[in-house]
Structure 1
Amino acid sequence: MLAKIILLGCCTFLANGALVKIEEFGGEPELPLYYFGESAYYFQTFSKATQEQGLLFCKNLDMGLVSIESKQENDFLFNTIGSLVDYTTSDFWTSGLRSGDIWYWETTGKPFSFTRWSKNEPSDNGTCLEVTQDSSDISMSWNRADCTKNNYIICEGDGNQTTTKPDSS
């Protein structure tokens, strides 16, 4: 299901990997939201960013980077991404982080209860989790990545969310 977030007042967006704040914006820009279960998702596909920039971007929308908690949610995200971009060349940040040998979702603090690791993953490269297309079976799989890599972003928020007011500070 598709809905819209309407940003009121000033807004922040990513331009060339940097957060840019617009003080005066003509009209009210609308951002598409997609719904699954009790969550709303925004797929930021017009610019790439580091994982930390992605966290800040989503926070400014009153959302967090996505936490994938089931195969059904993983499949929903894969299908939605496929309708938005060429998935074969597009990786997306999640809120997944590694601490020691434990993987957890930064936005919820919960350890992974479901995984969809790519072949030979998790590897020793990076402590952040990106999602990408698995060419072996045409599905979405997970890779460890360097947190400073530039990827697209998936934000996740409350499924009752219809509008958001970015922080004006």
Structure 2
Amino acid sequence: MLGKAVVLFGVLLALFAITQSHGHIKNGQGKDFRGYVDVNGTTFFIDTAEYYRDEAQVACNALNMTLITFQAEEKYNVVYNWLYNNGYEFNWLWTGALRGTNSSVWTWEPTGEEFTYFRWGSNQPSINDDRYPLCINFRVLSLGWDDDYCNNALIGYICQ
């Protein structure tokens, strides 16, 4: 009996080590989906599996698309409402937003355009560390954007 407990403990410890070395997963209660969607006449691609931000960008590029950008509040509201009305309120999704190393400037990486519109969630932005690039993700239930280390969180993405 003690041998089984030791083996079980070892397996649990190994699983913990794997999750710690590969970032944290934020999509605990989200909806599983991968495919194209039409939102008010605009085509987006949503994948709710777990990806680092750089992996999400590569996946969008492979589809001849880029991670979503929100240069205006209207676009954010349209996408937000569609996600909410279609059951994606729990899913965290990467955007095309990037704040480079040693910088305080946020840009939309696909275009290099500096932000003119922000939709930060409560207590955001929360990371004051400029030694690493930061990216923005969002979740409908968070009512705004969340800054995160680009290769720390494993979440879904939305391409445009």
Q: TM-score, normalised by structure 2?
A: 0.67
Letter in 1 for 2:144: S
Once the two structures are TM-superposed, the CA of residue 143 in structure 1 deviates from its matched residue by: 0.7
The alignment partner of 2:120 has SS state of coil
SS state at 1:63 partner: coil
- Deviation, 1:120, is 2.0
Distance change in 2, residues 1:86/1:33 (3 Å): closer
The CA deviation at 1:31 is 3.8
Q: 2:50 aligns with which of 4, 26, 48?
A: 48
CA contact (8 A) 2:54 2:150 kept: yes
* Residues 1-169 of structure 1: pairs in structure 2 closer than 5 A: 31-36=35-40, 39-45=42-48, 47-87=49-89, 89-99=90-100, 100-124=103-127, 127-135=134-142, 140-148=143-151, 149-156=153-160
Deviations 1:20-60 (A, max 9, x none): xxxxxxxxxx94332457x5311223x12110110011011
Mapped to 2, the partners of 1:57 and 1:97 lie a distance apart of 17
More helix by share: 2
TM-superposed CA distance for 1:134, in Å, is: 4.6
Q: Which structure is larger by alpha-carbon Rg, 1 or 2?
A: 2
Q: What stretches of structure 1 move > 3 A for 4+ residues in a row?
A: 83-86
The CA distance in 1 between the partners of 2:40 and 2:126, in whole Å, is 30
Q: 2:54 corresponds to which letter in structure 1?
A: E
CA–CA distance in structure 2, aligned partners of residues 134 and 81 of structure 1: 10
> 2-side partners of 1:48 and 1:71: how far apart?
27
Q: Which structure carries more strand by proportion?
A: 1
Count of residue correspondences: 121
Closer/same/farther in 2, CA of residues 43 and 84 from structure 1, 3 Å limit? farther
TM-score (norm 1): 0.64
Which 5+ residue runs of structure 1 have no aligned equivalent? 1-16, 18-29, 157-169
Identity over aligned pairs, percent: 24
For 1:74 and 1:132, the matched residues in 2 are separated by 12
1:151 CA displacement: 1.0
